[in-house]
Amino acid sequence: MMKKRTLGRSGIEIAPIVFGGNVFGWTADEARSFELLDRFVERGFNAIDTADSYSAWAPGLSGGESETVLGKWLAKRGRRDDIVLMTKVGMWEPRKGLSAANIEAAVNDSLKRLGTDYIDIYFAHIDDEQVPLEETMTAFDKLVKAGKVRALGASNYSAERLREALNVSKEQGLARYEVIQPLYNLHDRDDFESELANLAQEQQIGVVSYFSLASGFLTGKYRKVEDLQGSARADFMQQYFTGRGQRILHELLAVSDELSARPAQVALAWLLSRPGVTAPIASATKLEQLEEIMGAVTLSLPEPALNRLNKASGA
């Protein structure tokens, strides 16, 4: 049996890889999405992350596609009770922001698309400084009390704003953020490690990292900028082809070869070794990619390999 990890103080346990559902209805059509999800749960994994905004950025799509595909899979397979379902509010243009009215409307929309009456972790997708934290946390608290949401999460919050939100919840007796979803990977370390990591550990908050493979850069598939041609993620990945990025990639590939592992597995195993990280989020559009990702949980990185990766990435 795979050992599960508890998300902060929520009491919710997840296997140590979260499936990133941004691909559902975008780079993975409905049939492929069902195939991937079936394999994921067959292997004992149970946490799936999505958002109301997925995949509004893609040509011809408007948002809500991922939740809709996931909802159809849940209905067809009857697996709702086996899944820890994470979704988000606040970034999608039709439901933008964290006002009380918007949160209430957005959660009802998401529940309908997902075909469920509760969400396990409901994230604020992005901070909204235009709305008082008291209003936002009170609105989220109502959802918890109503049974529509089991626990709350915050994505893209600074440490300062997260601490303020936690203080508001404590002072007013409201449900608090129990999970954070930061940008964090072998390349992108500063935002999380500078302050958020310590705050999360201090407050016993679960951490599920997004862009865990740096939009595909850390899979080793793309060795130079020219390799990006034709990739749906090309715009996201341009930023990684710098001198530092190439150093990280070089060391990642070297460690992978030495351990007879795939680069993605090493990058995810590195995250799983980091203090305070509950589970990385990772996506796949093919079964072989998914198998590769899931294999990371059984890969143990020797101390010398960890030191080399840390040194290459600037720690």
**119 Cβ partners below 8 Å, 6+ apart?**
85, 86, 87, 107, 110, 111, 148, 149, 150
pLDDT of residue 244: 92
Cα separation, 276 vs 143, in Å, equals: 27
Overall pTM surpassing 0.85 (yes/no): yes
What is the tens place of the pLDDT at every residue in 222-255?
777 766 677 766 677 778 888 899 999 999 999 9
pLDDT tens figures, 178-189:
999 999 999 999
Average pLDDT over residues 268-291: 97
Are 52 and 95 contacting, i.e. CB atoms less than 8 angstroms apart? Answer: yes
CATH superfamily ID and name for 5-223+263-300: NADP-dependent oxidoreductase domain (3.20.20.100)
Tell me, yes or no, if 118 is annotated catalytic.
no
pLDDT of 47 reads 98
> What proportion of the chain, given as a percentage, has pLDDT over 70?
97
Give pLDDT, residue 232: 63
Beta strands in 90-205 (DSSP E): 119-124, 149-155, 177-181
For 162, phi then psi, to 5°, come to: -65, -45
Residue 14 has pLDDT above 90, yes or no: yes
* Mean pLDDT score of the chain: 95
> pLDDT tens digits for 44-80?
999 999 999 999 999 999 999 999 999 999 999 999 9
Query: Given this model, what pLDDT does residue 233 score?
Result: 65
Cβ–Cβ < 8 Å for 159, 182: no
Gyration radius from the chain CA atoms: 19
Can you give the pLDDT at residue 315?
56
* Cα–Cα dist 305/315, whole Å: 13
Query: Which residue(s) pair with 122 in the sheet?
Result: 87, 152
Residue 312 — pLDDT band, cuts 50, 70, 90?
Answer: very high
- What mean pLDDT is predicted for residues 265-290? 97
Q: Is 60 exposed, middle or buried (0-12, 13-18, 19+ CB in 10 A)?
A: exposed
Amino acid identity at 91: M
The tens digit of pLDDT for each residue in 120-134 reads 999 999 999 999 999
CB of 2 closer than 8 Å to CB of 297: yes
